[in-house]
Amino acid sequence: MHVHTAVVPAAGMGTRFLPATKAVPKELLPIIDTPALQLIIDEAVGAGVDHMVIVTSHAKPAIEAYFQPQPEVIAKLRSSGRDGMADRLEAIGRDVKVSFAYQDQALGLGHAVGCARDAVGDEPFAVLLPDELMGSSSLLDQMARLCELTGGSVVGLKEVPHEQVGAYGVIDPIGTLDEHGVIGIASMVEKPHPDDAPSDLIIIGRYVLTPDVFDEIARVRPGAGGEIQLTDALKAQAARSPFHGVATDVLRHDTGNPFGWLTAVVDIALTDERLGPSLREWLRTKVC
């Protein structure tokens, strides 16, 4: 079945970015001039998604405000000949249906995804963690097609140095990666001690999940960090259904902390045709 819905967990308080996130949600912090959340939506749309479910909290009204039409601003832009920007603003929330679900208690990623159950319905769906920016839609697209083919859930994977695995969900693979980066998954564990980790393949923030995961989430008890972990619900799925990972070396930025956000902005700006050349020049004067 075609994957047309994507869930974005975006209810967190963004404590690592305080005081900036006191009034502006972390997901709306700019990557040059575009909110990170918009880049996530663009990635999902590029993989065939036409319905975004944003899991937010009532303490973050700016997330919903971002999707409100602003006809006066658009009229002003058009009357001053800035049609390109007017078109961009008009497209927000028009080319894709946006629904909201609410998670008002920080009970974990599994709980956040569970909050989207009614909005998703009974079909496979994607999950995109907005702290991670991918350079393109290609990974999610490949994952969606693999889910359609196998009828089972799929996670995005990346191989990392062994000492880093304890910060992530880690898979227990079946066999080895094939030529498309696909691997079977027997099980997985959230934030293991590196000595106990079953591999160096970590789950990155992209998932395509079959809807039976909602029943598993409802059954899961608090795990690592006392939270309802998505990884624990996926482990239960993998124990009884086909479950795969797709490993990628696509350019990926972790914008969940100030250093990662800063390097993401610089890296992306360096590839921007308007800003890249002068930024490169300026950086040379600073670092040499």
- The residue with its CB nearest to ligand G1P is 169
| Beta carbon nearer to ligand G1P, 51 or 191 | 191
The residues that touch ligand G1P, with contacts defined as CB under 6 A, are 109, 129, 132, 168-169, 190, 202-205, 229-231
Degrees (nearest 5) of the Cα angle 131, 165, 207?
45
Q: What residue type is 186 in one-letter code?
A: A
Q: What is the CA radius of gyration of the chain?
A: 20
* Residue 251: CB minimum distance to ligand G1P, A: 15
| Beta carbon nearer to ligand G1P, 108 or 152 | 108
* Residue 168: CB minimum distance to ligand G1P, A: 3
Contact 115, 214 (CB under 8 A): no
Using CB atoms within 10 A of its CB, is residue 274 exposed (0-12), middle (13-18) or buried (19+)? exposed
* Residue 273: CB minimum distance to ligand G1P, A: 30
* Residue 42: CB minimum distance to ligand G1P, A: 19
Contact 223, 229 (CB under 8 A): yes
| Beta carbon nearer to ligand G1P, 14 or 205 | 205
| Beta carbon nearer to ligand G1P, 109 or 134 | 109
Using CB atoms within 10 A of its CB, is residue 198 exposed (0-12), middle (13-18) or buried (19+)? middle
* Residue 278: CB minimum distance to ligand G1P, A: 33
| Beta carbon nearer to ligand G1P, 146 or 204 | 204
Closest CA to 236 of 222, 254, 220: 220
